[in-house]
Amino acid sequence: MSKKLLEIKDLYVSFDTYAGEIQAVRGVSFELNKGETLAIVGESGCGKSVTAKSIMRLNPEPPARFKGGAILFNDEDIIKKTNSEMRAIRGHKIGMIFQDPMTSLNPTMTVGKQIIEGLRKHKKLSYKEAKKIAVDMLKLVQIPNAEERFNEYPHQFSGGMRQRAMIAIALVCNPELLIADEPTTALDVTIQAQILELMKDLQSKINTSIIMITHDLGVVANIAQRVIVMYGGVIVEQGITDDIYYRSRHPYTWGLQNSVPRLDIVKEETRLTSIEGTPPDLFAPPSGCPFADRCEYTMKICRAKMPPFFEINEGHTSACWLNHPDSPKVDNPSRVRETGNSTENEVKKNDQQE
């Protein structure tokens, strides 16, 4: 069976600012197995990046502050590590790909030098050995003329190539965990397709675990095995990808799915269902469900008490009072179910044809 690589237990992260304390992450718990791809979805400000950066301890502390919980990476608590211990982990055991390849590479260093930096530090390799590995890595991420490109600066690379270089930097030490924070958001769709193919390909070759942070449900469907949906600093639903897409039991997930038009469905004359209102203020997060103000099924209890995780299925949990046995029965809004059904039929059809 798969082994646990990362376990986050009841994590609380706050930012102390002049205006007060921003409670960015409020009690997040999840696990990640070896070789698994987990996607974290949510809107900006929902705490997904803060959670991911906490794993690398990349949130500047202060203002960031761990208020509670534990991040167990290979059974060792990341939060208790000193700075020098963290330096041995960053780039070595855990690699990270950032959203914006333009600003996250060092413009004054050649791309090659940025790749071998980690190798020299963590693996104590000579320049020559490190260069050989780095050039191979550049070839692996499909950069043409890797030997010449090794000596070029980031500004000589295009956006897609910079993102490839960043993947090379993140993966060159064979990390056990790769955190990708919106790796394709800044790229064009044709380049996005290339990068996603590349990441899947590399994962099968290197067998690293991936945490993919994104707001694009299409990208998630492409790459993830498991999905976590975050809202207002908490996890609202998690489960395997099929459960989240076809059998979701949380109104926020329904809202997300219904607010994006689908390319594969003939143009509907209906309006898009938008989620009215704006996300909660994390200076003073609500004591009940953070989604209560925007939810069309809000009940009294939603505002009074934070819903616990209801287990829907094995590994599929939803933090919504609608799943309580005493609550009124609400089905997925039609569109989600329809698409789920239609695909199931399609899959059956394909099976028969085969």
Partner 1 sequence: MTSKNKEILVSVKNLKKYFSVGSKSSLKAVDDVSFDIFKGETLGLVGESGCGKSTCGRTMLRVYNPTGGSIEYNGKSVHKLRGGELKAYNKKAQMIFQDPYASLNPRMLVSNIISEGIDIHELYKGKERQDRIYELLELVGLNKEHSNRFAHEFSGGQRQRIGIARALAVNPEFIVCDEPISALDVSVQAQVVNLLQDLQQQYGLTYLFIAHDLSMVRYISDRVAVMYLGAIAEITTSNELYTNPLHPYTQALLSSIPIPDPRIEQSRKRIVLEGEVPSPINPPPGCKFVARCSKAKDECREQRPELKEIKPGHFVACHLVK
Write out the residues near partner 1 by the rule CB under 8 A: 43-44, 158-161, 188-194, 196-197, 215-222, 241-242, 245, 255-257, 259-264, 266-268, 271-276, 278, 339, 343-344, 346-347, 350
Q: CB of 54: closest distance to partner 1 in angstroms?
A: 22
Containing 219, the helix (H) or strand (E) segment is helix 217-223
C-beta of residue 309 within 8 angstroms of C-beta of residue 236: no
Distance CA 141, CA 229 (A): 30
- Minimum distance from CB of 129 to partner 1 (Å)? 31
CB of 257 to partner 1, least distance (A): 7
Residue 220 Cβ, how far from partner 1 at the closest point, in Å?
7
Helix (H) or strand (E) segment spanning residue 133: helix 127-140
Output phi, psi for 85, to 5 deg: -65, -40
Given the complex with partner 1, which of 94 and 223 has the nearer CB atom? Answer: 223
Q: Give the residue carrying structure tokens 């209560």.
A: 292
List all residues 6 or more positions away from 349 whose beta carbon is below 8 Å from its beta carbon.
Answer: none
Give the shortest CB-194-to-partner 1 separation in angstroms: 6
Q: Which residues contact 110 (CB under 8 A, 6 or more apart)?
A: 150, 151, 152, 153
Least spacing, CB of residue 83 vs partner 1, in Å: 34
Cβ at position 123, least distance to partner 1 in Å: 32
**Nearest CB to partner 1, comparing residues 219 and 306:** 219
**CB of 57 closer than 8 Å to CB of 243:** no
The nearer residue to partner 1, 71 or 275, going by C-beta atoms, is 275
Least Å from the CB of residue 187 to partner 1: 9
Q: What is the C-alpha separation between 212 and 48, in angstroms, rounded?
A: 10
Q: How far is CA 176 from the centre of its chain?
A: 16
Give min distance, CB of 148 to partner 1, in A.
Answer: 17
Comparison of 27 and 159: residue with beta carbon closer to partner 1:
159
Q: Is the dihedral of CA 320, 323, 326, 329 positive or negative?
A: positive
What totals of helices (H) and strands (E) does the chain contain, helices first? 12, 12
* Cβ distance to partner 1 smaller for residue 95 or 251: 251
Helix, strand, coil percent content, the chain, rounded in steps of 5: 40, 25, 40
Closest to 37 (Cα-Cα) out of 223, 215, 257: 223
- Nearest C-alpha neighbor of 240 from the set 346, 304, 180, 317: 317
Residue 122 vs 226, nearer CB to partner 1: 226
The nearer residue to partner 1, 108 or 190, going by C-beta atoms, is 190
Nearer to partner 1, 116 or 217 (CB): 217
3-state SS assignment for residue 28: strand
Whichever of 91 and 255 has its CB closer to partner 1, that residue is 255
